[in-house]
Amino acid sequence: MAVRTGGVRGAALEIDAVTKRFGAFVAVDDLTLDVPSGAFFALLGPSGCGKTTTLRMVAGLERPSAGTVSLAGRDVTHAPAHRRPVNTVFQSYALFPHLTVLENVAFGLRRRRARDVRARALEALELVELVHLAHRRPSQLSGGQQQRVALARAVVNRPALLLLDEPLGALDLKLRRQMQLELKRIQAEVGITFVHVTHDQEEAMTMADTVAVMNHGRIEQLGAPADLYEHPRTAFVANFLGQSNLVAGTVVETLDAGTTLGVDVAGVRVRVPAARTVAAGPRVLVGVRPEKIRLLGGTEDAAGGDNVLGPGTVVDTSFAGVSTQYQVAVDGLGTFGVFAQNVGGATVHPPGSRVHLAWAAPFTFALDGHEEVAAGTVDLDDEP
């Protein structure tokens, strides 16, 4: 983490072996997390995986059933919420309906008897471009505006740690992008430690310097966005962070002095870098990202060293502007997703075409073969 000079430094957050049970239900399961001071940290996971519960334990609104929470090296597990230098942007905004927007933003400053309350609150409102609505009540604002008030109300206190629970969920795409940049700017400017909870993998990857992927109350994998994307260690991460094509295979040989594994996939030999293989035994899931695959028509040949699967039939071709997205049913293996960038002059394969799939062997990864192929795939009707 780069050391920042000047201004308030954010505090490091350590969550150590924290478990939260609601009756018999385990919402957060033996979770350990280190968020360095000044980090922009994203907690990414599907709805119901325990993200909000984790934040609430950090904020002091929920007591862990076990484990400790430390801030800047101090154990705060049992400190009440109002004594923690932590502010939260709540998923439901939780704005005070009887106070004006300005008084909502000023609330934290007034409780701590800060100086220049009004000026600072207005400054925070300027940050979220809501000064002109300072004297309205929250009920007179749109969902997106309320969310920005909630953000201003938290940021204005310059806490050591800012917790953001899906803070951009109600914004439309354009404002969302704008606020993402704004949040990154604020974070860089004030050096507050941010823990940003989201179920939007794109948001997590574009904003955070570290992403923790959470599933069923546990951290599946943690790392820099590019690292998570290129080196997923579980099927859940491979599917939840972007998309992946996963097929079952068996390791049958070691090649190139142990740096490459030869894997049998339904009778075809596929080469996988040993460094990108997680599996313990010979049973693996061979994976490749859709944008790495090229489609070869009848006459084209794969380059040497490519992995090739097929033939298969194109079942769907959708033009999406920057890319064309294909669904290819490969005989005996199932359906593959393929993204072909629109670089111009590329052949478009209409549905019904017979094609082979080819990709450079180093882009292949392999996961433990006992995992569920569909883990972490997003249903269309999933909660937003």
Partner 1 sequence: MTRLRLGGAVVPVFASLGFVFLLVPIAYTVLFSFNDAGKTNLVWRGFTLDAWRNPCGAPRVCAALVGSLQVGLVSTLVATALGALLAVGLARARFRGRGAVNLLVFLPMATPEVVLGAALLTQFLSLRLPLGFGTVVVAHVMFCLSFVVVAVKARVATLDPALEQAAADLYATPWQAFWKVTFPLLLPGIGAAALLAFSLSFDDFIVTNFTSGGFTTFPKFVYVSATRGIPPQANVISSAMFVLALLVVVVVHVVSRARRPR
Which residues in this chain contact partner 1 in the complex, by CB under 8 A? 59-61, 80-82, 86-88, 90, 92, 94-98, 107-108, 111-112, 137, 139-140, 153, 157
For the CB of residue 71, give the shortest distance to ligand ADP in the complex, in Å. Answer: 20
For the CB of residue 149, give the shortest distance to partner 1 in the complex, in Å. Answer: 12
**Span of 47-55, 70-78, 100-108, 202-210 interacting with Mg ion by CB under 5 A:** 47-55
For the CB of residue 189, give the shortest distance to partner 1 in the complex, in Å. Answer: 21
User: How many Å apart are CA 11 and CA 194, to the nearest integer?
Assistant: 10
For the CB of residue 111, give the shortest distance to partner 1 in the complex, in Å. Answer: 4
Contacts of 116 (CB under 8 A, 6+ apart): none
Structure tokens given for 139: 């009920």
Let me know how long the chain is: 384
Helix axes 101-111, 143-155, angle to 10 degrees: 20
366 phi, psi to nearest 5 deg: -135, 135
- By beta carbon distance, the residue nearest Mg ion is 52
Nearer to partner 1, 160 or 222 (CB): 160
Residues making contact with ligand ADP (CB under 6 A): 22, 25, 27, 45, 47-53
Residues 252/262, Cβ–Cβ less than 8 Å:
yes
Nearer to Mg ion, 52 or 147 (CB): 52
Nearer to ligand ADP, 234 or 260 (CB): 234
- Sign of the Cα torsion 271, 273, 279, 281 reads positive
**3-state secondary structure at position 349:** coil
96 binds, among Mg ion, ligand ADP, partner 1, none (CB under 5 to 8 A by kind): partner 1
Q: What is the largest CA-CA distance in the chain?
A: 76
Contacts of 346 (CB under 8 A, 6+ apart): 324, 340
- By beta carbon distance, the residue nearest ligand ADP is 52
For the CB of residue 47, give the shortest distance to Mg ion in the complex, in Å. Answer: 7
User: How many Å apart are CA 260 and CA 262, to the nearest integer?
Assistant: 7
Q: Is 198 in the site for Mg ion (CB under 5 A)?
A: no
If residue 134 lies in a helix (H) or strand (E), which one and from where to where? none
Nearer to Mg ion, 92 or 142 (CB): 92
Q: Is 54 in the site for Mg ion (CB under 5 A)?
A: no
Nearer to ligand ADP, 27 or 121 (CB): 27
User: How many Å apart are CA 351 and CA 367, to the nearest integer?
Assistant: 31
Q: Is 52 in the site for Mg ion (CB under 5 A)?
A: yes
For the CB of residue 281, give the shortest distance to ligand ADP in the complex, in Å. Answer: 32
**Footprint on this chain of Mg ion (rule: CB under 5 A):** 52
